[in-house]
Chains A and B, each alone.
Chain A
């Protein structure tokens, strides 16, 4: 939010993000806004990391696999039962018993997999509650920052317009209509910059004249 990065090099073709630069100019002269406190609190809260959401992929795969096993075992039991009804013999009956055993095992495994998935889903839900809250906080932060910017822009507007009106050799109709160099110069004059600004424009007689007008330290190319 410092002004300097916006106006470090003032040269033709400078690309200036005007609203942000205006807000930064206001901050540089100590303007505060009604949402600053809340912005700080929200930022602090968001600095803690979000819990990862436990992966449920393995649990889902297990449920799908055990369900397929279960279907296969059920089918096997049904087939053997059908054959038993046609011809009752001892070895078939052994097969049937072992198929029943396998079926009951498959049922147990499927039930366990389903339960494991259910509990993984519950844990994921808790992690998502947290993420849900963070998303709301991020949206609130974005809105607050916009509101702060609007306040800052309003606060610094008159000083920037005065600076534009005092520019040597140019009189832009407004900050928005001004060329980027004029706008940047007005921002430096209206705001406060302590690191020397590099000027590569022919607006001032010399470095001293530039520093006097800008009320800031200057390098001149």
Chain B
């Protein structure tokens, strides 16, 4: 999908108008951002917004997230184990020590 993020009141208003008028090409509206359909029409709408507000419109293309393809098992396991922890007050950094889970710094250092 195409992600449009706006950075000014004028750009945000334009996005709002586009979303209202072209409902069919909008997957989701998120306040000052929106996800557009990955079609030429979606791209057309995004490009028009950027033409109108060059500095205040960011366009990105999103990719589907598949944790079984994109994320090592250790990370998935860590997320599940932490959310199932019995002591709700223990921060993750502390939780990971003494357990076979990666520490936050290691997670931050590795790109997907």
Q: Is the CB of B56 within 8 A of A55?
A: no
Q: 1/0 per position for A54-67, CB-CB distance to B under 8 A?
A: 01000000000000
How many contacts A-B (CB < 8 Å)? 25
Give the residue name and chain of the B residue nearest to A51 (CB).
B55
Q: Is the CB of A50 within 8 A of B32?
A: no
Instruction: State the Cβ distance, B9 to closest chain A Cβ, in Å.
Output: 6
Q: 1/0 per position for B1-27, CB-CB distance to A under 8 A?
A: 000000111001000000000000000
Complex Cα distance A124/B8, Å? 15
Q: Is the CB of A135 within 8 A of B54?
A: no
Of the candidates A52, A127, A135, which one forms a contact with B32 in the assembled complex, judged by CB atoms under 8 Å apart? Answer: A135
Residues of B within 8 A of A53 (CB): 54-56
Complex Cα distance A157/B83, Å? 55
Residues of A98-133 whose CB lies within 8 A of B: 124, 127-128, 131-132
Of the candidates A50, A132, A138, A139, which one forms a contact with B55 in the assembled complex, judged by CB atoms under 8 Å apart? Answer: A50
Interface centre among B7, B8, B12, B58 (most CB of A within 10 A): B7
Complex Cα distance A139/B58, Å? 19
Q: Is the CB of A135 within 8 A of B9?
A: yes
Q: Is the CB of A128 within 8 A of B54?
A: no
Q: Is the CB of A52 within 8 A of B55?
A: yes
Q: Is the CB of A131 within 8 A of B9?
A: no
Residues of A within 8 A of B55 (CB): 50, 52-53, 127, 131
Complex Cα distance A124/B58, Å? 10
Complex Cα distance A139/B55, Å? 18
Q: Is the CB of A131 within 8 A of B8?
A: yes
Instruction: State the Cβ distance, A175 to closest chain B Cβ, in Å.
Output: 30
8 A-B pairs within 8 Å (CB atoms) are namely A124-B58, A128-B7, A131-B7, A131-B55, A131-B56, A132-B7, A134-B7, A135-B12
With A52-B55, A131-B7, A131-B55 known, 12 other A-B pairs at CB within 8 A are A53-B56, A55-B54, A127-B55, A128-B7, A131-B8, A131-B56, A134-B7, A135-B8, A135-B9, A135-B12, A135-B32, A138-B8
* A residues with CB within 8 A of B: 50, 52-53, 55, 124, 127-128, 131-132, 134-135, 138-139
Leading 5 A-B pairs by shortest Cβ distance: A131-B7, A53-B55, A52-B55, A138-B9, A135-B7
* B residues with CB within 8 A of A: 7-9, 12, 32, 54-56, 58
